[in-house]
Amino acid sequence: MTQIHRALLVASILFTAMFGAVIAVGCTSQPEPAWVKQELEARTDPKSLGGGKWVLVSMNSNGAIPGANLSLEFGANNSVSGFSGVNRFSGTCTTATGQLKFGPLVSTKMGGSPELMKTEQAYFAALASVRNFSLEGGLLRLKNDSGTTVVEFSH
């Protein structure tokens, strides 16, 4: 082996060692900053649900239903109420960090147009499927077991 080959071999070994060290240092796990943890907790804190009426923005990936004015409000002692397009409703919910499940909901028994009655049934079905929630950018997203957003509200 010539001196040039030895020098190239040594240089490539040193380069490989240095590159590996740089990669190893760059890939070490760093603890999350406190503000990241606080932000994630705020997005899933059940206490953040209260404080006024949430107005429907979309249901099952469709935009708001014109004229339906669907809403949801969280009250004291895990109570919920709202407007379902034709009728007012109320009931209870259970919450934990990032988790939300509605109990039986009762509603008034007024009638409306077939389109609004269909919307109301879809709204109650969507609420019944909710298992999780998140607050992101001023929006309340209610999600089913698979994490799919079924209803989305703004304040």
Q: Which of 76, 71, 102 is nearest to 88 (CA)?
A: 71
* 7 and 52 belong to one structural domain: no
* 111 and 139 belong to one structural domain: yes
pTM greater than 0.95 (yes/no) = no
The count of structural domains within the chain is 2
Provide the residue-wise pLDDT of the chain in tens; the chain has 155 residues.
566 656 555 556 655 655 555 555 555 566 767 655 666 666 778 788 887 899 999 998 787 777 789 999 999 999 999 999 999 999 999 999 999 999 999 999 999 999 999 999 999 999 999 999 999 888 999 999 999 999 999 98
* 72 and 120 belong to one structural domain: yes
* 66 and 136 belong to one structural domain: yes
Dist. CA 153–CA 138, nearest whole Å: 9
How would you classify the pairing of strands 71-74 and 139-143?
unpaired
Which residues form the domain of 26?
3-30
**Domain assignment present for 36:** no
